[in-house]
Structure 1
């Protein structure tokens, strides 16, 4: 039977075992090179001793039949594998004649044995796959010589697949491609396009901006129009990421004049429009490009690009996944995982009451607890999850029940905030929906016990709720945002997340002055400037002048800069003493309050005059 015949029936785990077997085979060939018989004997022996899980899955009980099949696999693997000793070219065994002994080792003549099966009866092994696996196991010195013997296009594709795995493989890919571009320009042409594009990706992934910049500058002036266009396209996207729209379009037009019929211009133009938020224009140009590409697509070679353009002009997260994955490798896989998790979200964590407080606890199931600790270890070992997305994405995909952990959702929110993508909504939308489903299942809207921030196990859920509030606000869903923040204050009245200042300002904006007073009374000795000044303003609006005067004087004594700041028509943002923090009573505190609340004071009749009057009395 052929591998193609088996594919329809093999599970993903089965195919993983097949790939693992081929990797081990490449390693053995590397050590046996150039002794084919030694490899075939070793491979057949190991297969018969259950070394390869792949052969175990075949459930062949007859030992002779197993050895026969293993030998056939070994011969085909050897014939497809490039040998370092042969300048990275295969050294296939000669095909036996009909009266020669059969290759399977049965002792029969070929015509009486496997010849009856025909070529379709032999296991088919991909030469491209074996080339990639051999390059993975050779020494660094041998790897650096591969470019002299193998097509550069093939090396570019191999490098692209390696860089998606982890940093070590990305570095190996860079080591493999670098010698190509140490050649003089006249030795490089259109056949090096794929390798050059992979080099640009590797420089970004491995944080080598100088090397990438030098490559782009060099190839924008290269004699080959194809390589020029590749570099110009990269420069366009870099300038687009930096918000230098005019320069990005100038380079796009240069690339267009250089090679007006290059199909890649379609993707580049739509990407620039997307980066600049011109979604309506992107939709129109996308439809234009679909018609144009259909006319250029004579033999189906542009099918993938046409599908990509269709995805780019679609609004759904699933359709956007391939594009997002191009900009941030791994992000597209995360979108797919989130979409699946939303359909039937599991509940891995649960709440309980401990010491009169509500707490989130891990499941009692030992396997689930081990899985969560494995996830935690992965996150702790990677400062930036997107530098090596492979391991943690693989864990998510292998264990979809991780979607039931609010800790995992909290970590994913942090990872998504780190994404550099022109369309973060494609990732945030399914993440918000999953987070909302889990939070509503986990936390009561009206808690009977406090859900304290002091309990470390509670913080992920509280952070996720804060994320949901911020996201609703960004989506102009102010009502939902306020409701979530009120929910947070009911859960954690100590308000370690600073929700109260946002809530009181929103109450005042809505004219809910009594609600603002009630909220402020929960924090009588507060340091929060929004609570103190908002309390006074709400009382003033309610006509409780005496109490309002008292509260405003207390607020001014605590934060005297506020008065002058609110009265200024214009004010520059001050330099913060400690980025990420606000100094109590400082100029930065006054500036932030002015930004969030000055409109509230201006919208209240006589409030500014009253503020000035009380300040003078103080």
Structure 2
């Protein structure tokens, strides 16, 4: 059958089926339906009554009926010499038996059309009946997602993946599974997403388990839980050893862990392996080749291309930051009595900031360490374009603060974005901190609004570069500690963690013991000191330090030792109470991988629980 004729037939079939469904819904009575078919059904087939009458019994037999709790009422195919089922009065062999359809009629077509039509309580009742064929659920869910009906798509696909009978799941269900996970993520249904992933990994079909593990790995990376991400990756590799997605995930994982060279080597391994198999298309091979050449830059380019409308201004911003001239001097003075350092905003800086703020229009929330009162990305195209046209705005520390907080809020968890977006700003801030230190040995205290602006910028950059530019992050943190000796930003803990990751245990121990008697108790410092002592084989001192840990937080050892503990989230404002389970969970996500990779460390902790 020619393509054009086939397209006409499909349009006619769908038009007739849609009209038939409306007619059936009126009474759900077969004779009444056939009355409609004889009166109006032929309109869909250019007056061909015979075609309409032949199709009608087929469609009736696969239509779910509300009066039967959404079961169908299939008609028995008549024998050749029996009355035709279209109620024409003729024998079947002389009537509909002679009609040949141009294509087979999809078995779930009327169910699929019904799922697209039903709303509210009717749709819910139909799904709850569990009468819907899986293929109809799959197709209806995908169509709803493609048309932007995410709520309907979620409702239908949840019925498909309810776990009641995984054996009935179509093998083409993988895209629908990923769509449902994406909808959960977009709507903030993290619990539903986690439950679905757990259910699939525990009882789901093999072809979905690998996908679930890949998504779980990415979810853990988003939450900065590297240890759990590594565990999920290993399981995914066992389930889907030849998945090209694993090359992408492993590169991300290694970059998150700070192993840039290893990421490059592993990407090269994946490239050679998958090329030999010869199953990838040209675009996939090009991506893997680029990943093997420069993992960080490749992932950054991929992210930028996925940003759609923001891609062009982000590329322009990268170019601007790469070409930034040396930062101008700022006015820092030392108080003659206290020696405290004070940053004073100049008139030029105030003018530059005012021009910037006309475009940026979002204020920093000074009640939290890092954040805005509103989302700065709603008009990002405007302010990025304006900034690229006026690079001199970045001579004002206030503008650097706003830009830093905006960039870290969106890209701070992605290591591959740090070199192009954050490191140039860190160099600028370092120049200003150097000028401040030249004015004296006093503290740049947080309680002054202008000082807080510099310190807030520093904190955002240290945190944002921690994975993608770890050495630069640590160096900046050390610069800030020199000028903020009270550690109002809590940077000692972060520097300590980085030293432990670099296996610089003696330096880590020395840092942990600084101001050890100042009365401050931070779980990260206590655990970091314990780990450093354990690695240095000072076991008696390590046991004493572990006692301090247990005195501060009774959940710490439980969560660091457990393989899959229940997550514990901070308060809605992001604050974590000292001694709480949330504090222990936060430490686990950041540093369990270091305890796990230290030989015998987890067993030692387990023995002291």
**TM-score, normalization by structure 2:** 0.44
